[in-house]
Amino acid sequence: MNHLSLTARMSLMFMLAVIAVLTVAGLSFNELSRHHFRMLDRQTLIEKLESTQKILSSARGRAGFIEVQPQLNALLGAHEDLAAIILANDGTVLFAEPRPFNVPEKYRLHTDHGMWEWQEGGHMYRGITAQVSGPYQPEPLTALLILDVTNHMHFFETLLRWFWIGLIISALISAALGWVVARSGLRPLRQVTQVATSMSARSLKERIPLEPVPLELQQLVTSFNAMLARLDDAFVRLSNFSADIAHELRTPVSNLMTHTEVVLTKKRDVDAYEENLYSNLEDLKRMSRIIDEMLFLAKSDNGLIIPELTRIELSEVVAKLFEYYHLLADECGIHLTVSGSGNVLGDKLMLDRAISNLLSNALRYTPEGKTISVTIRQTGNAVTLTVENPGEAIKPEHLGKLFDRFYRADPARREGNPSNAGLGLAITRSIAEAHQGKIWCTSANGWTAFHLEFPAL
């Protein structure tokens, strides 16, 4: 059953349902018909018994019984399937029409007006036994009325035989109709399958239309279209990511090749070689940093970043980072402030790196003479750290993409700048998510703020 197609399963279930319904209907009809014929036979026997009793009640002894025999013959002989036997008290047969029956002894004494049945010689009989008495009868007589119902039994045998033949034919027809109906009903599903089969990396923007799809399959198609949208978005991101990696690594590799080729054009002194090596070292460091960041993000994507959770006071982390960035801020005439406090469970090195990325980003875009403020707030079960700086606002269409790898709100790519590879915010988001937290950005009215939220201790 598990290996059958959906069409075959539905056809089989449809056939079984039809068989079940026809079987119940046929057996019910058969039983009701048998009951109906039994009631008719019983009614016939009781009517004849009552008429026989009226006739015998007027007979005066055995001599009078001979006088009423013509009436009994007329009454009981008119029914060709009916036989009657009248017995005296001593068992003597007084009347038999059309011939004496070898009725089993137990039915001769069965005088409660209940109908009995027995089979003999391929025939089936139904009968009734009753005591008949009258004012002129010194002793009661026993009347046995017997009805030959063999024709009824033959009818039911024929009916049952044709029922099974009809049931088999109906099962085959219902299976064929079920297959046609199921195949027609599953046509939209086959269309969905064909579209899914034809999908490739170049056709991920195609969607299955909902209009011709039945209501039962619309949820499936909606989910499938949503999956295609996610795949398309992931594929675009992956393509852009590959292009960005090539773009970022091209510059340092090109610098290395150029410097090396220039140095090799002629013999130079030791100082020239040393200067070239230092220049190459800077590019190598940049490449190494990009590779390390990419490895970090790859581990984050696969859930391999497991923070070493310790109790951390965020204000202390920010204060230490201010000591590091103090000289750079003084050179640019930028002030650094921190307010509030909050304790979280986290990895100190990771949190240092995340907050450092935000401070470095703020220093890059804050105008000279302005202030970068860090605010720590604890509300309910969350601790929020906000790094806010003045400067040109970020357009709303860029806010949702700032944390993508190699993404820059400024379309002008700054090649060769080792401090701006475009991975800092992506790493910060990975660190926040590894700590069961989140990060988002708001920018309006000349102020830009990055918000880090962590579960409170």
Q: State the CATH number of the domain containing residue 27.
A: 3.30.450.20
Integer angstrom CA distances of residue 171 from 12, 20, 125, 156, 452: 10, 10, 36, 22, 68
| Domain end point (choices 253, 282, 301) | 301
In a domain, 33, yes or no: yes
Quote the CA–CA distance of 53 and 91 in Å, as a whole number. Answer: 18
What is the amino acid identity at position 382? Answer: A
What is the pLDDT averaged over residues 414-431?
Answer: 66
Q: From 172, 56, 40, 181, select the one nearest 115 (Cα to Cα).
A: 40
For residues 17 and 166, membership in a common domain is answered with yes
Would you say residue 109 has pLDDT above 50? yes
pLDDT of residue 112 exceeding 50: yes
Residue 414 predicted with pLDDT over 50: no
Nearest to 385 by CA among 329, 340, 323: 340
Let me know whether 275 and 239 are in one domain.
yes
- pLDDT average, residue stretch 273-299: 76
pLDDT at residue 45 is higher than 50: yes
Is 80 among the domain residues?
yes
- Out of 169-183, 296-310, 344-358, 368-382, least confident range: 296-310
Q: Which tops the pLDDT comparison, 372 or 48?
A: 372
Residues 291 and 326 both lie in one domain: no
Structural domain includes residue 179: no
Say which range, 130-134, 163-167, 302-306, has the weakest mean pLDDT: 302-306
Position 63 confidence tier, pLDDT thresholds 50, 70, 90: low
Q: Among 211-215, 258-262, 428-432, which stretch is predicted with the lowest mean pLDDT?
A: 211-215
- What digits encode the pLDDT tens for the residues 429-449? 888 888 888 999 998 888 899
Could you report the per-residue pLDDT of 33-44, keeping only the tens digit for each?
888 988 988 888
pLDDT attached to residue 143: 81
**Close Cβ partners of 111 (under 8 Å, ≥ 6 residues apart):** 129, 130, 131, 142
Instruction: Determine what percent of the chain is predicted with pLDDT higher than 70.
Output: 83
Lateral strand order in the sheet of 116-120: 93-97, 82-87, 141-148, 123-132, 116-120
Q: Which domain holds residue 226?
A: 215-301
Amino acid identity, position 414: R
Q: Do 148 and 238 sit in the same domain of this protein?
A: no
Residues 266 and 318 placed together within one structural domain of the fold: no
pLDDT-derived band at 197, boundaries 50, 70, 90: confident
Same domain, 375 and 450: yes
Average pLDDT, the chain: 80
Q: What does the pLDDT read at residue 286? A: 74
Any domain includes 198: no
Are residue 351 and residue 442 in the same domain, yes or no? yes
CB 140 within 8 A of CB 132: yes
Is residue 326 domain-shared with residue 382, that is, in the same domain?
Answer: yes
Q: Look at residue 12 and tell me if it is in a domain.
A: yes
For the cut 60, the answer to whether the pLDDT of residue 84 exceeds it is yes
* Stretch 95-111: mean pLDDT: 70
Contacts 24+ apart (CB under 8 A), 121-125: 122/150, 123/148, 123/150, 124/148, 124/149, 124/150, 124/152, 124/153, 125/101, 125/149
Side chain identity at 348, as an amino acid letter? K
The per-residue pLDDT for 376 is 92
| pLDDT reported for residue 70 | 78
Mean pLDDT for the stretch of residues 337-352: 88
Residue 313 or residue 199, greater confidence: 313
Residue 380 lies inside a defined structural domain of this protein? yes
Strand boundaries in 398-446, DSSP class E: 438-444
Last residue of a domain, which of 283, 301, 319? 301
Tokens of 21: 């319904």
Looking at the fold, whether 333 and 417 belong to one and the same domain comes out as: yes
Q: What is the pLDDT, as a whole number, of residue 337?
A: 92
* Average pLDDT value for residue range 337-366: 89
Question: Structurally, how many domains does the chain consist of?
Answer: 3
pLDDT tens readout for residues 133-153: 765 566 777 888 888 888 888
Q: What value does the CA radius of gyration of the chain take, rounded to a whole number of Å?
A: 52
Both 35 and 104 in a single domain? Answer: yes
Both 251 and 295 in a single domain?
yes
Task: Indicate whether 210 belongs to any domain.
Answer: no
Closest CA to 309 of 453, 452, 438, 434: 434
Q: Last residue of a domain, which of 284, 301, 318?
A: 301
Find how far residue 287's CA is from the centre of its chain. Answer: 48
Average pLDDT over residues 207-225: 77
> In 265-410, where does DSSP find H-type helix?
270-301, 314-332, 348-365, 396-399
3 state SS of 168: helix
Domain check: are 256 and 139 in the same one? no
Question: Is 50 exceeded by the pLDDT of residue 416?
Answer: no
In the numeric block, which tokens belong to residue 171? 């099962």
More confident residue, 316 or 400: 316
Q: What is the pLDDT at residue 388?
A: 92
- Please determine, for residue 167, whether its predicted confidence score (pLDDT) is greater than 50: yes
Residue with tokens 């910060």: 428
- Report the number of secondary-structure helices (H) and strands (E) in the chain: 11, 12
Which position has the token pair 């295609």?
Answer: 228
- How does residue 451 score in pLDDT terms, banded at 50, 70 and 90? very high
pLDDT at 111: 60
Cβ pair 310, 345 in contact under 8 A: yes
Can you tell me whether residue 352 is helix, strand or coil?
helix
Mean pLDDT of 109-115: 67
State the CATH number of the domain containing residue 437: 3.30.565.10
Per-residue model confidence (pLDDT) at position 412: 44
Q: For residue 252, give the CATH number of its domain.
A: 1.10.287.130
In a domain, 156, yes or no: yes
